Amino acid sequence: MSETISSTWRKAKKDHECSFCNHTIHKGERYRFDVLKYDGTIYTWKAHEKCDFIAGEIWDYVDPDEEGMSENDFQQAVCDICRDFICPDCDKFDKDDPWAEDCECNEEDKVYELFQKYELYRAWRDIDYIGWKLRERKKANE
């Protein structure tokens, strides 16, 4: 299991690459900076604020192994969530071929917006697991 040595929020003094989405963390942007240790190796992990939030929301969905959530785990989950919950409402979505590569949305932004209003949960009917669903997020004062 990976061990967190330190975790802080920073303001970028130069451009960096997000370890989750591989897009640029721009100078002046707030990001999470983690120092981690796995199997005797120490490494750093940098994440956009929105990617760090998304990772927290999809942790159970991804169910990462001992190493934690990889960039591939994150990107595949974001793509799956986008295709399952966001793309079907898009004009460009091909209902006959839902895996067609014609979606032009910025998946991380769309998934981030989705998780501002909704949260993922495992749905059960009696004792049978039927899949992942969305429910409205409760407001802080509720």
Please name the residues in contact with 38: beta carbons below 8 A apart, sequence gap of 6 or more: 1, 2, 3, 67, 68
pLDDT digits (tens, 9 = 90+) for 29-48: 999 999 999 889 999 999 99
pTM assigned to the model: 0.84
Per-residue pLDDT band at 99 (split at 50, 70, 90): low
**Residue 142 predicted with pLDDT over 60:** no
99 is written with which tokens? Answer: 């895996």
Closest CA to 33 of 5, 55, 56: 5
| Residues 134, 123 contacting (CB under 8 angstroms) | no
pLDDT digits (tens, 9 = 90+) for 59-88: 999 987 767 889 999 998 998 898 888 877
